[in-house]
């Protein structure tokens, strides 16, 4: 283990090596940091809720935690309880069997709170539209502040979505303040 | 084990299904098959229904066949009564089609939580109103020191929803009962009448982590029904995608299991390798999870030389970095302390349920449908099926570790031997128009064998489709494996099983 730790200490960080994504990610990173700090101090807590997804969106949301995207460097982190959350990241067409659980999770999240619907299913039920078992897109059940489309959206898109949300909530707050 | 062959000789056969035989069963044959399953003389591959009939696919060492029973009275002899692994499949048939399993020991709904606004949505009398409500009688465990811990459907991590009801004596789990069905999206119903393109998309979204395996299984079932073979190059490319998917999932799982024992170093490094597999997949096939890339008749995208180069580079990276991670896992005693002898699944139980994938192969099983019955291109490739006997979390980690090595071997062979030629057959040709055609396929996904059965109409639209996730025969085993362990080890056990919620709930 020591060998591996030393090696990791000595080599340059993996967090996005030079690639096409790099410039965009840097841009996202710096904006996100500024926005998150202005709005909520140094941190923003996210609670993920799978309301009927096929699990593909969850895999890509998971990837935000890996060394390439390293979500926590922006002060963004996933939390285990909606009571600790500022943002609900909701995936899937909301199934009728999950509707109540989603509503309760929303109610358990303290104000101010935002909801991001991640993936095509969350936005419009995707291929599962018109099923007897689906209650509708996330916006039909709880208020949605932002949709991130894709099937599934790649991690960088989800990150950009979070930035957009932060920028929007900041603008709204600035207006109220003025 | 010759009994199945005997039945196939005695009973009339229906020749609509390809490539396997279908026996037209009567109640006696059906019941005797259930008895054979109970005696361990066959393995249940699946049990499914349509409004007026039930089907079961079963396998012995000598044969694989489907048995069909008409249900004119709206009922059929329960298989679960004698053979427990069929129980949840049977409860699902009752929920969706309204067919009654006679003598079924469990009256509770399974996927139907009383919230659909309709009962038996796919059955003959589909529009009876729902009974409503959310009462579910969990099995009890009684005694003064016992308490219950309800968990879910919304869990603490970024995972799928399901409910776990623990009965615990202090820290020790006395009984775990699962309640699933929360992500039931009605896929069987959506498949009815879907054209091939839409149906393939639905199949690709049954379980997102196994999208390639499901797409291959659906494509092979359709091709079998139509009597068509996909072009050779496409079959090899599909296998390449399947191995990339296996690599990504196993690497993710090994890290996640370590993470559930709070060993984040291994998680971080495995996460890096997993991300590299996903990025390589995107370079090769234009999508990180390779969704909708395998379609009936072949594959939707060809592999460029740039893609092949990226895949070769990935193989070299994993070969260089993975051994260090294995050493790290093997030599970290605090981690081993959590995984060794935790969540033991006995070989006898794994065998009874016919569990596939790493769950079965870590408990003495050796089943891998790439080897038997076997399918192209694996029949011509060199790879081993790693197994363990201990049945604990550690064994399930080791099976994954060794499968990573095997998949790396396979990716190399697939790239070396990739044949040329077209990658997609034209399914609109008139020779594929048939009165009714049925196909069945078994494909080895990362967590075990995926079964797809499909019936097509003369215009090549889907009449009925049944997709069976390997998790159906693994979820019940988790309940057994956790018994006697401490509650705090449940995440570790659950992750080592990594059953699919969406694939099971459909």
Query: Is pLDDT of B216 > 70?
Result: yes
Alpha helices in chain A (DSSP H): 2-10, 20-40, 56-63, 99-108, 120-124, 155-177
Write the residue in B159, B211, B331 that is nearest to A56 by C-beta: B211
Mean pLDDT of B250-275: 96
Which pLDDT score, from 0 to 100, does residue A92 have?
94
Q: Is A117 exposed, middle or buried (0-12, 13-18, 19+ CB in 10 A)?
A: buried
Q: How far apart are CA B497 and CA B489, in angstroms?
A: 13
B424: number of Cβ within 10 Å: 17
Across the interface, whether the CB atoms of B184 and A154 are under 8 A apart is answered no
Q: Nearest residue on chain A to B201, judged by CA atoms?
A: A127
Query: Is pLDDT of B399 > 80?
Result: yes
Which pLDDT score, from 0 to 100, does residue B133 have?
60
Write the residue in A55, A95, A128 that is nearest to B208 by C-beta: A55
pTM recorded for the entire structure: 0.94
Inform me whether the C-beta atom of residue A149 falls under 8 Å from chain B C-beta atoms.
Answer: no
Complex ipTM more than 0.85, yes or no: yes
Q: Which residues of chain B make contact with A52, given a CB cutoff of 8 A?
A: 182-183, 185
Query: Is pLDDT of A156 > 70?
Result: yes
Q: Which residues of chain B make contact with A101, given a CB cutoff of 8 A?
A: 153-154, 161, 182
Across the interface, whether the CB atoms of B154 and A49 are under 8 A apart is answered yes
Tens digit of each residue's pLDDT (9 = 90 or more) over B311-321: 999 999 999 99
Q: Which of A102-116, A152-166, B204-218, B403-417 has the lowest mean pLDDT?
A: A152-166
Mean pLDDT of B443-451: 97
Tens digit of each residue's pLDDT (9 = 90 or more) over B416-431: 999 999 999 988 777 7
CA A24 from chain centre, in angstroms, equals 17
Tens digit of each residue's pLDDT (9 = 90 or more) over B267-276: 999 999 999 9
Percentage of chain B modeled with pLDDT above 70: 98
Which three-class secondary structure state does DSSP give residue B158? coil
Which pLDDT score, from 0 to 100, does residue B489 have?
94
Across the interface, whether the CB atoms of A128 and B332 are under 8 A apart is answered no
Mean pLDDT of A58-63: 96
Which pLDDT score, from 0 to 100, does residue B207 have?
97
The secondary element (H helix, E strand) that includes residue B212 is helix B211-226
- Name which of B419, B409, B354 is nearest B383 in CA terms: B409
Tokens 């692994």 — which residue? B85
- Name which of A134, B423, B450, A175 is nearest A167 in CA terms: A175
Q: How far apart are CA A126 and CA A119, in angstroms?
A: 9
More confident residue, B429 or A34: B429
Q: Nearest residue on chain A to B276, judged by CA atoms?
A: A68
Write the residue in A58, A98, A132 that is nearest to B158 by C-beta: A58
Query: Is pLDDT of A176 > 50?
Result: no
The answer to whether the CB of A52 falls within 8 A of the CB of A98 is yes
Q: Is B435 exposed, middle or buried (0-12, 13-18, 19+ CB in 10 A)?
A: exposed
Query: Is pLDDT of A177 > 60?
Result: no
Q: Which residues of chain B make contact with A133, given a CB cutoff of 8 A?
A: 116, 121, 184-186, 189
Query: Is pLDDT of A1 > 90?
Result: no
Query: Is pLDDT of A42 > 80?
Result: no
Q: Nearest residue on chain B to A135, judged by CA atoms?
A: B116
Across the interface, whether the CB atoms of B189 and A132 are under 8 A apart is answered yes
Q: How far apart are CA B269 and CA B274, in angstroms?
A: 9
Q: Nearest residue on chain A to B134, judged by CA atoms?
A: A97
Across the interface, whether the CB atoms of A98 and B332 are under 8 A apart is answered no
Q: Nearest residue on chain B to A82, judged by CA atoms?
A: B156
Which pLDDT score, from 0 to 100, does residue A160 have?
84
Across the interface, whether the CB atoms of A151 and B158 are under 8 A apart is answered no
Three-class SS of B262-300: CCHHHHHHHHHHHHHHHHHHHHHHCCCCCCCCEECCEEC
Write the residue in A54, A99, A133 that is nearest to B502 by C-beta: A54
The answer to whether the CB of B111 falls within 8 A of the CB of A128 is no
Which pLDDT score, from 0 to 100, does residue A17 have?
37
Q: How many CB pairs under 8 A join A and B?
A: 145
Query: Is pLDDT of A20 > 60?
Result: no
**Could you write out the DSSP letters of every residue in B112-153?**
--S-SSSSSTTSSSTTPPP-------PPP--STTEEEEEE-S
Q: How far apart are CA B178 and CA B493, in angstroms?
A: 14
Inform me whether the C-beta atom of residue A132 falls under 8 Å from chain B C-beta atoms.
Answer: yes
- Nearest Cα of chain A lies from the Cα of B180 at a distance, in angstroms, of 10
- Average pLDDT over chain B reads 93
């Amino acid at each position: 283990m020591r060998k591996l730790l030393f090696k990791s200490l000595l080599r340059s960080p993996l967090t996005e090596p030079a690639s096409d994504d790099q410039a965009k990610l840097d841009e996202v990173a710096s904006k996100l940091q500024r926005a998150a700090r202005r709005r909520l101090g140094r941190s923003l807590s996210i609670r993920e809720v799978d309301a009927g997804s096929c699990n593909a969106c969850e895999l890509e949301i998971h990837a935000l935690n890996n060394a390439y995207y390293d979500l926590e460097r922006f002060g963004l982190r996933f939390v285990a309880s909606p009571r600790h959350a500022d943002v609900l990241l909701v995936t899937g067409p909301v199934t009728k069997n999950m509707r109540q659980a989603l509503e309760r999770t929303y109610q358990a999240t303290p104000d101010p709170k935002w909801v991001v619907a991640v993936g095509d299913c969350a936005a419009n039920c995707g291929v599962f539209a018109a099923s007897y078992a689906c209650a509708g897109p996330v916006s039909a059940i709880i208020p949605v502040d932002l949709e991130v489309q894709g099937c599934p959206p790649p991690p960088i898109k989800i990150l950009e979505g979070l930035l957009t949300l932060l920028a929007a909530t900041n603008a709204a707050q600035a207006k109220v303040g003025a | 084990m010759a009994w199945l062959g005997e039945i196939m000789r005695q009973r009339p056969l229906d020749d609509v299904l390809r490539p396997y035989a279908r026996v037209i069963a009567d109640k006696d044959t059906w019941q005797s098959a259930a008895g054979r399953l109970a005696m361990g003389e066959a393995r249940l591959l699946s049990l499914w229904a349509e409004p007026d009939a039930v089907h079961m696919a079963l396998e012995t060492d000598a044969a694989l066949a489907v048995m069909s029973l008409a249900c004119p009275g709206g009922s059929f002899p329960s298989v679960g009564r004698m053979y427990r692994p069929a129980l949840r499949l049977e409860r699902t048939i009752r929920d969706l089609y309204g067919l009654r399993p006679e003598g079924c020991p469990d009256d509770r709904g399974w996927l139907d939580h009383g919230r659909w606004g309709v009962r038996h949505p796919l059955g003959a009398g589909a529009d009876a109103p729902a009974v409503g409500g959310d009462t579910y009688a969990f099995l009890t465990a009684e005694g003064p020191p016992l308490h219950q811990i309800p968990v879910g459907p919304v869990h603490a991590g970024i995972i799928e929803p399901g409910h776990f009801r623990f009965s615990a004596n202090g820290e020790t789990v006395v009984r775990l009962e699962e309640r699933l069905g929360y992500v039931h999206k009605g896929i069987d119903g959506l498949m009815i009448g879907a054209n091939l393109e839409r149906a393939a998309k639905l199949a690709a979204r049954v379980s997102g982590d196994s999208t390639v395996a499901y797409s291959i299984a659906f494509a092979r079932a359709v091709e079998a029904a139509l009597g068509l073979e996909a072009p050779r190059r496409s079959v090899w490319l599909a296998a390449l995608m399947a191995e990339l998917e296996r690599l990504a999932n196993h690497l993710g799982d090994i890290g996640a299991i370590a993470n559930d024992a709070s060993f984040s170093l291994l998680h971080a490094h495995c996460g890096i390798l997993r991300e590299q597999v996903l990025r390589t997949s995107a370079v090769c096939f234009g999508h990180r999870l390779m969704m909708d890339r395998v379609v009936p008749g072949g594959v939707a995208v060809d592999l460029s030389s740039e893609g092949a180069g990226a895949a070769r580079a990935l193989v070299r990276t994993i070969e260089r970095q993975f051994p260090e991670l294995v050493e790290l896992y093997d030599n970290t005693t605090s981690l081993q302390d959590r995984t060794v002898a935790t969540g033991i699944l006995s070989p006898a139980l794994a065998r009874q349920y016919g569990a596939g994938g790493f769950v079965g192969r870590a408990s003495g099983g050796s089943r891998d449908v790439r080897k038997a019955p076997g399918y192209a291109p694996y029949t011509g490739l060199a790879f081993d099926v790693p197994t363990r006997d201990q049945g604990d979390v550690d064994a399930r980690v080791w099976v994954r570790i060794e499968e990573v090595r095997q998949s790396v071997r396979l990716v190399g062979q697939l790239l070396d031997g990739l044949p040329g030629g077209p990658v997609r057959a034209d399914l609109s040709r008139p020779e594929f128009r048939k009165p009714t055609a049925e196909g069945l396929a078994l494909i080895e996904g990362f967590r075990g064998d995926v079964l797809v059965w499909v019936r097509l109409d003369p215009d090549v639209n889907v009449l009925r489709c049944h997709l069976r996730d390997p998790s159906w025969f693994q979820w019940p085993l988790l309940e057994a494996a956790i018994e006697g362990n401490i509650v705090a080890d449940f995440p570790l056990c659950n992750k080592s099983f990594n059953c699919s919620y969406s694939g099971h709930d459909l």
